A and B are shown apart, each in its own frame.
Chain A
Amino acid sequence: MTPVAIAQRRTPDPGGGPEQRRLELVDALLAAGDGEACAVTALDWLARHCGVERGLCAVVDRAAGALVGVAGHGLPASLAAAFRIDLAARDHPLAVVLAGHEPVHFRRERGKSGPQIVTPLGDHPFLAVPIHSGGGDRPIEHGLLLLAGAAEPAREREACWAAAVLGIRLAALELPLGLAEERRHERELTLLRRGLETVTDPILITDAEGRILVANRRAEQLLTAEDRMSEGRRRAVAMNNMLFSAAAFTGGPGDEPTRRELLLVDPIEGEDLLFELLSTRFEVGRGETGTVSILRDVTDLRRASQEIEDNYRRLRIAEARTRAERDRLDLILDAALDPILVTDREGNLARLNPPAERLFAVPDAADADAAERRVRANDVVLTSFLSELAAAQSDRLRGELTLTDPVSGESIPMEARAANVVSRQGEVTAVVTIFHDLSEAVEKERLYEQVKRHSEELERRVREATAELAEQNEVLRRQTLELEQASALKSQFLANVSHELRTPLNAIIGYAALLLEGISGELAEPQREKLTRLESNAQSLLAIINDLLDIARIEAGKMALDVLSFDAVELIDEVMAEVEPLIDRSRLDVTREITDEIPELASDRQKVKQILINLLSNALKFTPRGAVWVRAGFDPATDLLRVAVVDTGTGIRPENRISIFEAFGQSGGSVLRRQGGTGLGLSISRRLARMLGGDIHLESEVGVGSTFTLELPRMSMES
């Protein structure tokens, strides 16, 4: 509330307003016995005639140096009684009004800062009217009337008049307020305030509309803020107010205290605070109510209970897990194929899985007696094994024992492993014994031994066989080597022999030539004839020796290849020219046919020529009549040159078609001798053809003719 200047006014004119009403006030004031009664009377009158809705009358307690409320209208008596302004604070707006002797308007102005006045009138604009007496230079100040609702000049004038009359009356009563009474009030009030302040929980009293009338510091901290405070704090307070109002005033109309939870923000720390709000309504008087609210901070309490809840939940989960673990363990035990049993310290069976049950529980077998005996026997075996464990230093024991199948009576070799289950305190709480049927293992062991024996035997045999093989290999290798050496020696021998044979043969031929030329004198015709025969046979012998030398060289691998590019057609022509004398002598029709475009060959020209001469001269020699064709063609797909020598000769019998390619394997030696061949020509030709990467093929029909085909790759690898 801030003071608002109003038009300067003299003391209200006592003669203004309806006479009747004024007389009524005066009468009532005169009837009132003390100041408080006067105050009540005045406020009543103002309410009735001046539209005052709320009013407070405060008087100066000179002893206390304070302005204190003595009566109220439209507000709880307790609030009126609680009103107090220390007059030592001379700058208090109401103190200023009191000293200024002029009525002042107070109204809340938005955004305007200034001293805040908290009055029981709340937020309503009000008129503060000083009550004084004496007038002139030394007026006596008696107090203030705070009036809300009389907001029009005429009424205000009446109010000022009433205040003046009240002042006169109070002066007449010479401060008749019961001071003792007042002090008692004051003490109670102080006690109440101090008491409230000592309570750490926020406590506040609000009016029916939620306005804070009284609040202890803690409550103020949460619910009130001043403009100088930080934005955050003010916002927190605004929010708290909203939350608090919503919580405190949604209760039912009854006087029963309501309890609810309220989450507020600590405006200073910013933390969430959980309160239990206890609100109680009470009657203030004149049908008005107020509310006492006590907020109990249960933040820590809630936290603690939350923790307890969490712990409890965790405990439940752990419990469930343990249970699941136990169930799982049971499942595992039951699923295990090996007999497992748990006994207590005394050796009493506590838990058996099904395989263990078959050994240690009497079955519903036909022969129950026998089964029972066997079960008892098993028990004895187990007990003695466990007593061994009990006597042992260790917590574990392994042993091999023999149990009996209670149903079949079969004995079962078993491996037993027993272990003490020891508690944290080191006490043996149970013993777990696991059996493992060894009969299978025993059988496996036997089989394994057998397999091992067999495998060793097999290995030995393989070793022996391998050794034998290696030995044979070595023998073979040695034999191969010896053969190779023998072959090489043979070839070398043949080469040497050929050379040695040839030299004298050359001499024979040479001398024959000298004689035939008549160098050593004229020859008679019979002599010439014989000498010609001699020369011819010498030539045949020389041809044989040359062929032998070729074979020997080929077999010794000493036949070098000399690969060059050359024209195959040209070569064929050359061959034909070379055998011209033979052709002439044969009187055969010899035709050369070139069927394809023939590319240049990369091969050993000399050897190809040798082959072709051989094939062609053979054809000429062995064809009594008819024709001979030399057909050359090239197949790009296979990259092969084919030269076929076709004759209409006697043909070669199927059984001879292979042997004619073998050295000295000619078809019919007599024919050959008659024709003057060596029988080595085809063998050499085929070998040469193969050396060049090709071959010679034969097609023949007896009485029709033969075709020898030389096949050569376009490119020969140089060996």
Chain B
Amino acid sequence: MPDDYQHDPHDIVSSHNRHRRMFLKTSALAGALALNNGLAASPEASERSGNSKLRIGALCVGDFSFWSYSWGDILSPRGVAVNREALGTGLLDMEITHVWDVDKAKAREFADKVGAEPVDRYDGMVGKVDGVAFGGFYEVPWQHILARPYIEAGIPTYLSRPFAYSLRDIEDILDCAAKHGTPIMATDIYEHLYGVTTLKKRIRTIGEIQCVHSTCLTHEYAALFHTPYMLQAIFGHDVGKVAVVTDDPNSSTYLMGTYLFNGDPEQKPFLCTSTMTPDGDLYSMDVTGSEGIESSRLPQFAEWRDDLLVHHTPMLVAMQKTFEGTMYEPLDNIRKKNEIFLTGFYSAVERSGAPVDVGTVPPDWRAVPARPDWIDPALLKRQ
């Protein structure tokens, strides 16, 4: 079972170092990591005024972004709808002050709605914000580059799922966070659903787990196949094998993932399956134990307001705590989640859906981006 979340930020470096030895054998960054493991805030991190909300930089706000889909509606300070309908009240202690997107027009459009200032460059908010959040999906293959200036500056950073498209990239991010002592958060929205904690409590009464079946409302593996993250939030990250069966991870007509959890002395290894059901519930999950079954499901919402409050807001609450300086979870959890995602991708495209041992995907192997030309490399040059 997973540890409880909300860790002491001072644990992140030691935990990170402890669990990444295998990777470091092949990592060129091993030496660099040893240089500075301090967690002191970078001088470039700005001081927060006691009378204002946290100043948040919104990165990647255009197509396929949580910013333009839901976060904008939740954080919109003046009740102006970004997508469908704003909550109309200041729910959290965060204010969007700066915006960047690969598409400047979309950045401007979003900024106008939330009363923020667009910046020209992806690193143009350093020194101006208390935290940054990457909301997009198409930018994730470049996220390790886009996030680096902020992590180096000690600015708490939220990373969009699936966090990175290679183990090398995620290690790059984690190394940088560890070196600069920057709180980072990398979660999937389903990790924050109340069904996670509810199931974690209820499955204590069903004996030894026999099997788990889950479904997810999605058409593809990389962005919206949320249940594998939810499974890890419930059962931990000790996954031995992953198999993903699909015709195309980025545009699936069928999709099924299998995750072998290793268990422990009191729990035999057990399999969790996740099946895509594009028109069904947001998720469903059935945990069969030796002495009973526990189930959970989240039907699609009838009202957008409920969707925002129940589905999307819990993650923003955790994000705010990260921006306040509290690590959501150890860095190694992030590495593990990304590794499990990449192992599934590797199973699908390199092994025809065969189970792949977690820990065997080559560090430089890259998953296939949904939009490989989404970002012009020229935009990534740092000033």
Our verdict on whether A and B bind, yes or no, reads no
Query: Which residue numbers of B lie inside 8 Å of A, CB to CB?
Result: none
